Structure 1
């Protein structure tokens, strides 16, 4: 609110004119709403220069400005870098997923503009993860805006706003003694009294919210309001023995839906606050799941100075224990599927049951939904949903998820249940003979892929007793066979020559065919 976007809007027009007439500017931010002041003041600048800009957009929102000398156009973050422009402006950069910010780094002229601390997003993600890497890749100028344009320094309303919306929340500082407690896992899970936190302005509330602000989440003031007001949302904290909060968890109670509502859900009705039961009814046709009750983990984040020390897994373990004691059936979560996050949930015994068909326009990630059964009834249903997901995923990879990173796909196939999916794979006698001819170097891959694909499917639908393949071989199988990428693209992925890639794939298929031949 200090005038950062306004400054960038005016400056972008100035730079574009300095570059010469007909300059093209691509503007991006998490949402079109974020760049309205940028567009309004760019328009004013063009009008002041007598360049008669024309604005276009949706409703009240401006998403395009055109004049004879310069044009500005808004694109979602995951799309902007694909277009060609003379200048790229990324506003509210801390609210955008770090890998997407990197995509713009190769552009000749790029401006990143952001609050590094506040509701717009991951201050730590932007200033530590992104800027640190950016400095290694190229040189750039950093400008810090300390004096506000819109109001006087030290304005009491700004101070009040930061206080009320917890924009200045910070996690508690950790000492050497605290790290010793963390190493020994001397922690406990607690359900805090939120009424007490909010009504008495407890420092714990700031420590709790501060963990989210410095984690990888995009934060909005409404997130804190949801925690304060939503009747089915609750908080859990992992505290050290000395009371310091090191992990923040927000959960929503879901399920226990009446029969009449479940019938309406099957026909398209979406009940509020029941994201996981709704997905299980619509995508897995498991109406009985909606009767069960569970916890959906809305957010889980660890103190930024205590990452990768097992605290997230410990919080999940203790939350599961609580859910069991309360007679719940399941615990689940939905999140943007990165390799690191999928691995975290899988290693904690969760099963993947769904993957969104499209990438999130801001983060560029597909959303995965995972579940862990607690009751026996839930176990049967979640196992069935996990089996079904793995079957459909072998096909989705060739179409809906053809551009999904193979390193992520490889983890989405993993299962905590350990058994093979009961799914018939059929090969004709001629296909079997052609596979023999392929592994014996008589036929080429391109003439036998109809017989190779079922073998690859068998591998990914198998249980823990499947043949061993190393990471490169697994990615090769996903990328070339299931996603049908070219030899050239595949060779680039595994950083080998085209010939080596062909030989390696033949060797992988030979091993799998030798193993699965007896089953078929």
Structure 2
């Protein structure tokens, strides 16, 4: 679109002066759409920034005295239209890094601690060296005057029109031809999907579903659909018509679990949804589109492209892709967009290079400090870019945490000075008695103490609070060099460096079969599975430990014992829907053996000589042994799933048949007898 650049204004001074200037600016711009984000002034609280996504403003005033939330800053910038302005109220720039920013609490600091403030120092340096930023200082004693020349987009761009046509072809053309839509922020991707959905509903498509990490991420999509659907009403996250036609939101995990039929599934912000859920959607739905923000606060589109394109090629080789490149709210080449990309490293995808030219035998592992990354912009960009590429959800918050996070420890892997691996860890534990008492009583929940609090609260292992840990937060290896031992070498180096000062390595993540296999092969043991699924990943979290000391070994044994005692109860309750391939990999080892009497009863059951209720304890023991043996026991997956469903999760025959997609109660019970026979054979 044509028009002038958006501008950035830095209003810096003491809080009272900056707040007074904000009041004057609001008075001066009362004819414009202006929003104030502040926790102390009469505006929208900074934590509620998602409420305005998809809307347009001539000016945003962000009160940095309320805390600089990097996610909020990156998000609200996209709501400022061409010719508008972003205004930051800040302490004096040269002293900003010493300000007690309330956001430091999210990075592990108490109000009495003084962080290095590296994120703010870097921010200030870039702002002072940018032609796109105008500074207004209190010491200059001048009135702050802001001039706006807002421009409103009046028509859809050619990119949007092309995308709308492509979406209609997915819904009306041949099945199993998914569409991948890629766009940078502010290109009208969500608007195009909403308009296309409305057109399809007007053409008598009955049921279109939308999924995303949260409903807030697709509010723009629904708003544009509503504008084009007279007679539809918004109710409970769905646009519905009296005749039954609807456009409805559904959470990713519920979508995969319920498998609802639809005329079209729109997966928005797909980069922020784990690949295993996306693959399940692709298998379940005949008409589907995936849209992703290339450089966005909901995840990396580049990482999505690397991870998911192989899945698309394997399952639906006739998939298509389209891109939106022209901005709709500001002109192409907008100075504020370019500055924001630098400030928050939105464009920090790892630079592509030929991994075939690198020899992993030349691998070098070394520690790197937050200070070193701060001083070397290229190194910071490479390190963060690798995290963006490797992880399904990397946000501006993670950039700030990388620079400002308390007790962070970093390692990097290089080959010929090329960054190929990154490891981010945090020191936890060694909690003093006063804080430990607060944790035990439920009155304190300190940041950066995930592992000791989890072990104490959920396993009842009190000595966990006084034990020391190095928790792995993120590990990333360059695509093309994975499965070559680089991740293992990073972990081994961290373990060696901390072997004299720390009791245990720890990690917590959304449990998938692939991740559990990786961590078990590197010496980690599961000790806890969370009871609830993450809404966006659809996974239960798992906590795993690896001992570094004798004290760590004893604590881990205590945790394993408690885990073994509690897991059977949890599998009948909160974990009754946990997948068998996860249980198989997360089940603790046991040295028990099947008794002669149990084997005899199970043999009789398998030949119909005994009923199911006569052998339930024996089935339970058989299943535990099949899951917990030191050696890998090769049993048909459907047999193991049947044994787990009946004996550990105590699901009745009808529900087992539904879960395993077999024909009714009799078929489920026959499968159980066959599974028992094979299980007994495998334990010979």
* TM-score interval for Structure 1 and Structure 2 normalised by the shorter chain: 0.7 to 0.9
Aligned to 1:459: 625
Q: Contact between 2:588 and 2:628, CA under 8 Å: does it hold in 1?
A: no
Aligned to 2:470: 295
Q: Does 1:314 align with 2:489?
A: yes
| TM-align CA RMSD | 3.2
Q: Contact between 1:289 and 1:378, CA under 8 Å: does it hold in 2?
A: no
Unaligned runs of 5+ in 1: 58-62, 516-520
Q: How far apart are 1:177 and its partner, in Å?
A: 7.7
Q: What are the superposed Cα offsets for residues 396-449 of structure 1, whole Å, 9 maximum, x if unpaired?
A: 33443233221221111255xxx637xx9999x8x787446336x362452433
Q: How far apart are 1:237 and its partner, in Å?
A: 1.1
Q: Does 1:401 align with 2:586?
A: no
Q: Contact between 1:27 and 1:80, CA under 8 Å: does it hold in 2?
A: no
Aligned to 1:157: 336
Partner SS, residue 151 of structure 1: coil
Aligned to 1:223: 398
Q: How far apart are 1:369 and its partner, in Å?
A: 0.6
The number of aligned residues is 485
Q: Does 1:505 align with 2:675?
A: yes
Q: Which residue of 484, 492, 502 corresponds with 1:328? A: 502
Q: Does 1:437 align with 2:604?
A: yes
TM-score where L is the length of structure 1 = 0.83
Task: Point out which structure has higher relative CO (alpha carbons under 8 A, 6+ apart).
Answer: 2
Q: Contact between 1:90 and 1:112, CA under 8 Å: does it hold in 2?
A: yes
Unaligned runs of 5+ in 2: 1-184
* Distance (Å, rounded) in 1 between the aligned partners of 2:304 and 2:402: 25
Q: Does 1:16 align with 2:195?
A: no
Q: Contact between 2:198 and 2:225, CA under 8 Å: does it hold in 1?
A: yes
For residues 201-280 of structure 1, what are the structure 2 equivalents within 5 Å? 201=377, 203-240=378-415, 242-268=416-442, 269-280=444-455
TM-score where L is the length of structure 2 = 0.64
Partner SS, residue 616 of structure 2: helix
Aligned to 1:26: 209
Question: Is the alpha carbon distance of 1:153 and 1:396 closer, same or farther for their aligned partners in structure 2, counting shifts above 3 Å?
Answer: same
Q: What are the superposed Cα offsets for residues 164-209 of structure 1, whole Å, 9 maximum, x if unpaired?
A: 22122133555568532x1x2x4333222323423442x1212111
Aligned to 1:123: 301
* Distance (Å, rounded) in 1 between the aligned partners of 2:553 and 2:601: 41
Q: What are the superposed Cα offsets for residues 94-139 of structure 1, whole Å, 9 maximum, x if unpaired?
A: 1111222233334344332212454432435532443443345444
Question: Is the alpha carbon distance of 1:396 and 1:253 closer, same or farther for their aligned partners in structure 2, counting shifts above 3 Å?
Answer: same
Q: Does 1:197 align with 2:373?
A: yes
* Distance (Å, rounded) in 1 between the aligned partners of 2:400 and 2:231: 43
Q: How far apart are 1:470 and its partner, in Å?
A: 4.2
Q: How far apart are 1:12 and its partner, in Å?
A: 1.4
Partner SS, residue 451 of structure 1: helix
Question: Is the alpha carbon distance of 1:491 and 1:404 closer, same or farther for their aligned partners in structure 2, counting shifts above 3 Å?
Answer: closer
Q: Contact between 2:531 and 2:574, CA under 8 Å: does it hold in 1?
A: yes
Aligned to 2:264: 87
Aligned to 2:557: 383
Which structure's CA Rg is the greater one? Answer: 2
**Range moving further from structure 2, 131-140 or 228-237:** 131-140
* Distance (Å, rounded) in 2 between the aligned partners of 1:220 and 1:461: 38
Partner SS, residue 420 of structure 1: coil
Q: Contact between 1:92 and 1:120, CA under 8 Å: does it hold in 2?
A: yes
Aligned to 2:546: 372
Q: Contact between 1:352 and 1:369, CA under 8 Å: does it hold in 2?
A: yes
Q: How far apart are 1:499 and its partner, in Å?
A: 9.2
